[in-house]
Amino acid sequence: MDSESSAAPSLTPVKVGICGLGTVGSGTFNVLIRNAEDIARRAGRPIVVEQVGARRDNPDCDTSSVNVTRDIFEVARNPDVDVVVELIGGYDIARQLVLEAIEHGKHVVTANKALIAVHGNEIFDAAAKKGVIVAFEAAVAGGIPIIKTLREGLGANRIQWVAGIINGTGNFILTHMRDDGRSFDDVLAEAQALGYAEADPTFDVEGIDAAHKLTILASIAFGVPLQFDLAYTEGLRKITAEDVEQADRLGYIIKHLGIARRTDEGVELRVHPTLIAKSRLLANVHGVANAVEVMGDAIGRSLYYGPGAGDEATASAVIADILDVARDTATDPRYRTPYLAFRGIDQGRRELPILPISKVVSAYYLRLNAVDRPGVLARIARILADLDISIEKLVQREAGHEGSASLIILTHRAVEENMDAAIAQLEALDDVEGSIMRIRVEGSDD
């Protein structure tokens, strides 16, 4: 009988230390225990929880048979722990913990997108020096194996763009506001109760969490260093019920989208509310679900869909990483999959800069209130034309008060700095009342 057909794994167990027993920590603990037998058969050896480090117990998991410490750094130093699983979240303490674990020769698995997006370059350098693995599948899009897909499954491709709904909380809020007419704050409170939201939910609604994830995806897709500080973010709160309704009439759904696109000038890295044509699968991703669409030169378009947050969905990705560590630990580090998919990633910084938002090219939705009198449309069209912005569609509706009209303008693709200039000129017109709502648009062919 060869070793693959042996049902009982006989190699040394992999000993895991879990730091953090919140939503994802308890989910990871419970799934590791519940599915221990199948996981061991997949790893070829048992995976056991050697120690848990947590400030407090979690009633959702029974850790009575495990060594529990209140000092997470004890886990990083524990000579019996092979893999430190960092599930505490946040930047600073997580960074210290992971660097200390690496210093002690531990492999690391983390679900912490903020940590990887902001401190990843430093962490991977330290890990490379020690020859240890740092795996972070759970950091992006919850349970969807998008890191492995981009890094390994699509390794033959030159990736052209990645576009994703990568914040479950934001998508949950948009879905329930649109479908059930519920208020923003009411749905956000539910997302928090369900364990989807970040400790600071402004990270979800302002696009920071999605920008962390997009930063990681862009590095893996294009071979550029992690550059979170250059990501453009725009939050969800500006979206009004009227925009949702107008978008719907025009054949679009508003989603909070992260887009990373390779252009001849550099990489677009942006998170913002976006009108997406209803014919796109991405427009039909609802609730806490995430989806990432990838365009590669060989594969064409492909879409990856699944739960973007939640205890066991995220645990699924954490444990997949532990399995990879169990299999790869004996491989010479030079032959392991690179942390961010490419070797020699510093070269990328010079060749492919991150573009400022002013240089991004996009189609736009504009909504403005204008005085209803002769020549207004002509003046508006003139400003747009002079800035090389072409109108695709214009809809005029009665505004809330007499003598005023609400104009919805969809434009073809234009350079953002031209649109900035156009909006400034339009807002300065006597004909235009108040400020103009601008939302970027992804059509059916983008």
Rounded Cα gap, residues 50 and 414, in angstroms? 56
15 noted as active-site residue: no
CB 166 to ligand HSE: min, Å: 7
Which lies closer to ligand HSE via its Cβ, residue 52 or residue 87? 87
* CB nearer to ligand HSE: pick between 63 and 149: 149
Q: Look up residue 360 and give its two tokens.
A: 């991004």
Least CB distance to ligand HSE at residue 226 (A): 17
Q: Any residues with CB less than 8 A from the CB of 158 and at least 6 apart, and which?
A: 296, 297, 298
**Among 50, 82, 137, 198, which residue sits at the site for ligand HSE (rule: CB under 6 A)?**
198
What minimum distance in Å lies between the beta carbon of 259 and ligand HSE?
17
Question: Measured over all CA atoms, what is the biggest interatomic distance in the chain, rounded to whole angstroms?
Answer: 87
- Is residue 308 near ligand HSE by the rule CB under 6 A? yes
Please choose, out of 81-89, 116-124, 167-175, 276-284, the segment that lies near ligand HSE by the rule CB under 6 A: 167-175
Q: Work out whether 142 is an interface residue with ligand HSE (CB under 6 A).
A: yes
Q: Which is nearer to ligand HSE, 165 or 224 (CB)?
A: 165
**CA 437/CA 377 separation, integer angstroms:** 17
Residue 213 vs 261, nearer CB to ligand HSE: 213
Locate 420 and state its tokens: 């900035």
How many binding residues for ligand HSE (CB under 6 A)? Answer: 11
For residue 350, give the H/E element and its range: helix 346-351
Q: Give min distance, CB of 292 to ligand HSE, in A.
A: 12
The H or E element that residue 92 is part of is helix 92-103
Looking up tokens 């909504």 gives: 367
Q: In what order do the strands lie in the sheet with 14-19?
A: 67-69, 47-53, 14-19, 83-86, 107-110, 134-135
What is the smallest separation between the CB atom of 191 and ligand HSE, expressed in angstroms? 7
Residue type, 276: I
User: In whole angstroms, how close is the CB of 37 to ligand HSE at the nearest point?
Assistant: 28
Kindly report the length of the chain: 446
309 is a contact residue toward ligand HSE (CB under 6 A): yes
Neighbours of 118 (CB within 10 A): 18
Q: Which of 50, 204, 321, 416 binds ligand HSE (CB under 6 A)?
A: 204
Q: Which stretch binds ligand HSE (CB under 6 A): 42-50, 84-92, 190-198, 293-301?
A: 190-198
Report the residue from 28, 58, 110, 169 that binds ligand HSE according to the rule CB under 6 A.
Answer: 169
**Shortest CB 187 distance to ligand HSE, Å:** 12
Interface segment toward ligand HSE; rule CB under 6 A; list 194-202, 299-307, 320-328, 407-415: 194-202
- Catalytic residue from among 213, 238, 359, 393: 213
Where are the strands (E) in 297-387, listed by range?
Answer: 300-307, 361-371
Own/partner long-range contacts of 197-206 (Cβ < 8 Å, ≥24 apart): 197/169, 198/89, 198/169, 199/89, 199/90, 201/169, 203/114, 204/167, 204/169, 204/170, 205/169, 205/170, 205/173, 205/235, 205/236, 205/237, 206/233, 206/235, 206/236, 206/237
* Cβ distance to ligand HSE smaller for residue 113 or 367: 113
d(Cα 364, Cα 438) in Å, to the nearest integer?
A: 7
From the list 82, 209, 268, 416, which residue makes contact with ligand HSE (rule: CB under 6 A)?
Answer: 209
Q: Please, which residue, 311 or 416, has the CB nearer to ligand HSE?
A: 311
Closest by Cα among 117, 146, 124, 147 to 354: 117
Q: Cβ closer to ligand HSE: 30 or 404?
A: 30
228 binds ligand HSE (CB under 6 A): no
* 197 makes contact with ligand HSE (CB under 6 A): yes
Taking the complex as a whole, the smallest distance from the CB of residue 98 to ligand HSE amounts, in Å, to: 17
Shortest reach from residue 54's CB to ligand HSE, in Å: 19
Q: Which is nearer to ligand HSE, 189 or 385 (CB)?
A: 189
Q: Which stretch binds ligand HSE (CB under 6 A): 163-171, 232-240, 265-273, 297-305?
A: 163-171
End-to-end CA distance of the chain: 53
Hey, which bits of 278-375 come out as E strands?
289-296, 300-307, 361-371
Cα-trace Rg, the chain: 24
* Residue 92 and residue 98 in contact, taking contact as beta carbons nearer than 8 Å: no
Q: Which stretch binds ligand HSE (CB under 6 A): 10-18, 63-71, 73-81, 191-199?
A: 191-199
Under 8 Å CB-to-CB from 251, ≥6 apart: which residues? 277, 278, 279
* 196 part of the interface to ligand HSE, by CB under 6 A: yes
Stretch that binds ligand HSE, among 147-155, 162-170, 370-378, 412-420 (CB under 6 A): 162-170
The token pair that represents 433 in the structure block: 């009342």
Q: Which residues are catalytic?
A: 213
Binding residues for ligand HSE, per CB under 6 A?
A: 142, 167-169, 196-198, 204, 209, 308-309
